[in-house]
């Protein structure tokens, strides 16, 4: 659970905490959420929109620092160069290995982990032909596994852009993360919850990162941490890290806690959805250390290693 200490009991960092954010509507919502929670605890904050890493000079090459994430790179550099103190991310977009000097400071209470289908009527689900839009290999593979005669077309851009593309094209529907649409009040009344689709590891969770050396900043941000969410997403991301080996692949994972027990489900699919390897385990929380790794290793031993090699060859 998040730290619920009273405001007067929390040692306030005297300076202004500069919160780095990209300028998309969803990124700003997430940054403002963190800003509000910190200010409720008595901290001073400032939002710092960061446009492009091209505006920041950095002597050391990015690859030497392990900066790889397409959605996180700009803010990583802003932190390393001191432009911002912390950065707020959708945790599913954060690479499993953080750049040197950057650490997890808090994982916020998770919102919905589910994928949902925005559609123009559901009759097509009973038909042989259907066109679904998604830019995610994971969503595409799981959809084709369930509906092998359908077509999945590429869909990219921020949430607003993708919603407009759905309107403008002759697609039957498009897949979105429920949490993202809820956060910016764009979830329509008419949608289909895809309960059968395993989410991306850490989907629905927000991560705040800070510089490892900034002890006072880290202590301030730690007050926002939600322990149950942290446990679950770390298991999911450990599963991803062991499977991935630096390769993007259709990987789904979900850990949930109930009555001091963790239930984990994970899967790996071929790019065309025709092959699926899945794993499930239920353990007590106190026995959950390394659960993600154990599940990934079991999956790799059950044909996953060969499937990952096939996926790497197809993507290269």
Rounded CA separation 104/85 (Å): 13
Per-residue pLDDT at 3: 52
Query: In which residue are the tokens 């929380």 written?
Result: 285
Per-residue pLDDT at 305: 96
Question: Do residues 274 and 140 share a domain?
Answer: no
HEC readout, 149-179: CCEEECCCCCHHHHHHHHHHCCCCEEEEEHH
Sign of the Cα torsion 1, 28, 160, 202 reads negative
pLDDT tens across 58-73, in order? Answer: 444 434 444 445 667 8
Other C-beta atoms closer than 10 Å to the C-beta of 301 total: 9
231 part of a folded domain: no
Annotate 171-201 with DSSP letters as a single string.
-SEEEEEHHHHHHTT---SS-EE-TTSPPPT
81 part of a folded domain: yes
Question: Do residues 11 and 78 share a domain?
Answer: yes
Other C-beta atoms closer than 10 Å to the C-beta of 268 total: 28
The terminus-to-terminus CA distance of the chain in angstroms comes to: 42
Per-residue pLDDT at 8: 53
189 part of a folded domain: yes
Question: Do residues 125 and 269 share a domain?
Answer: no
> Residue ranges of the chain with pLDDT lower than 50?
4-7, 53-68
Question: Do residues 71 and 215 share a domain?
Answer: yes
Question: Do residues 92 and 137 share a domain?
Answer: no
Per-residue pLDDT at 13: 84
Rounded CA separation 97/238 (Å): 10
230 part of a folded domain: no
Burial of residue 134 (CB within 10 Å: 0-12, 13-18, 19+) is: buried
Contact criterion met (CB below 8 Å) for 72 and 57: no
Per-residue pLDDT at 64: 46
State phi, psi for 105 to the nearest 5 degrees.
-105, -35
Question: Do residues 128 and 247 share a domain?
Answer: no
29 part of a folded domain: yes
Per-residue pLDDT at 11: 57
199 part of a folded domain: no
Closest by CA position to 111, among listed 139, 136, 92, 137: 92
CATH of the domain at 295: 3.30.160.40
Q: Which residues contact 76 (CB under 8 A, 6 or more apart)?
A: 65, 67, 69, 87, 99, 102
CATH of the domain at 94: 3.40.190.10
200 part of a folded domain: no
274 part of a folded domain: yes
Tokens of 302: 């059950």
Question: Do residues 19 and 75 share a domain?
Answer: yes
Contact criterion met (CB below 8 Å) for 145 and 272: no
Q: Which residues contact 160 (CB under 8 A, 6 or more apart)?
A: 25, 186
Question: Do residues 65 and 212 share a domain?
Answer: yes
Closest by CA position to 138, among listed 233, 243, 66: 243
Closest by CA position to 206, among listed 10, 27, 4: 27
Catalytic residues: 93
Question: Do residues 171 and 244 share a domain?
Answer: no
Question: Do residues 142 and 210 share a domain?
Answer: no
Number of domains in the chain: 3
Per-residue pLDDT at 157: 83
Question: Do residues 132 and 213 share a domain?
Answer: no
Question: Do residues 119 and 209 share a domain?
Answer: no
Domain, as residue range, for 77: 7-110+205-225
């Amino acid at each position: 659970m998040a730290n619920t200490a009273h405001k007067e009991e929390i040692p306030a960092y005297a300076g202004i905490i500069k919160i780095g954010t990209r300028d998309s509507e969803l990124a700003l919502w997430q940054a403002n959420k963190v800003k509000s929670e910190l200010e409720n605890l008595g901290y001073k904050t400032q939002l710092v929109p960061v446009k492009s890493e091209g505006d920041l000079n950095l002597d050391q090459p990015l690859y030497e620092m392990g900066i790889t994430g397409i959605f996180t790179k700009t803010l990583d550099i802003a932190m390393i160069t001191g432009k911002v103190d912390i950065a707020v991310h959708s945790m599913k977009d954060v690479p499993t290995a953080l750049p040197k000097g950057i650490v997890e400071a808090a994982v916020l209470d998770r919102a919905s982990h589910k994928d949902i289908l925005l559609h123009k009527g559901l009759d097509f689900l009973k038909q042989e032909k259907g066109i679904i839009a998604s830019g995610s290999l994971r969503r595409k593979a799981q959809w084709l596994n369930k509906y092998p005669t359908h077509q999945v077309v590429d869909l990219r851009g921020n949430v607003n852009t993708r919603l407009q593309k759905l309107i403008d094209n002759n697609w039957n529907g498009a897949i979105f993360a429920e949490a993202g649409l809820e956060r910016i009040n764009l979830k329509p009344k008419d949608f289909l919850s895809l309960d059968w689709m395993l989410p991306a590891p850490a989907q629905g969770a927000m991560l705040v990162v800070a510089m490892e050396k900034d002890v006072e900043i880290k202590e301030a941000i730690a007050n926002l941490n939600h322990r149950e969410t942290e446990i679950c997403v770390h298991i999911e991301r450990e599963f991803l890290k062991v499977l991935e080996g630096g390769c993007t692949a259709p990987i789904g994972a979900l850990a949930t806690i109930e009555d001091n027990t963790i239930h984990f489900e994970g899967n790996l699919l071929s790019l065309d959805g025709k092959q699926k390897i899945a794993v499930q385990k239920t353990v007590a929380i106190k026995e959950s250390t390394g659960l993600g790794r154990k599940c990934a290793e079991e999956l790799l031993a059950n044909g996953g290693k060969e499937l990952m090699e096939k996926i790497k060859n197809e993507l290269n």
